[in-house]
């Protein structure tokens, strides 16, 4: 493990100054009587505020919700790395292995991208490259 460097007196002084007004969050909940009262202003909405849609307006379509693709269940992620050394997987997922070749497929149609990907992987295997980055 790498040795950590010692902090200087200036750094320690700066840290104490930056954190001098910080209090522990374990102090308890914020009392409700200290919160400011919210008064709703009795004014007309300004011209730049969005208006609520009319009931007669036609809806364009249902709202679409996208789920991030990097969310995996543990067993699905486990299957991705079957047959690989555990330490290699750990270093790979932590980003510790350098990328040895990059292929950018932006702007290619599917057929052309497929051919370029196959050629890229075949060439990388022949050159004994281990970490490839494919940008889609």
* 18 has pLDDT over 90: no
pLDDT at 120: 92
104 within 8 A of 73, measured Cβ to Cβ = no
Tens digits of residue pLDDT in 59-86: 555 556 666 666 655 556 666 777 888 8
Domain ranges, ordered by start, for the chain: 99-136
pLDDT at 123: 92
CA distance 126 to 120: 10
What are the residue ranges of helices labelled H in 1-136?
9-18, 74-80, 86-93, 110-126
The encoded tokens of residue 36 equal 């400011």
In degrees and rounded to multiples of 5, residue 40 shows phi and psi of -90, 120
């Amino acid at each position: 493990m790498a040795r950590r460097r010692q902090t200087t007196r200036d750094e320690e002084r700066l840290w104490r100054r930056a954190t001098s007004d910080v209090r522990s969050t374990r102090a308890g909940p914020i009392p409700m009587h200290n919160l400011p009262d919210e008064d709703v202003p009795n004014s007309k909405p300004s011209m730049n505020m969005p208006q609520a849609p009319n009931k007669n307006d036609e809806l364009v379509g249902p709202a679409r919700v996208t789920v991030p693709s990097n969310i995996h269940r543990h067993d699905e992620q486990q299957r991705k790395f079957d047959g690989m050394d555990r330490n290699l997987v750990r270093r790979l997922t932590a980003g510790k292995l350098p990328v040895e070749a990059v292929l950018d497929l932006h702007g290619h149609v599917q057929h052309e991208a497929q051919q370029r990907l196959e050629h890229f992987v075949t060439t990388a295997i022949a050159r004994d490259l281990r970490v490839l980055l494919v940008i889609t």
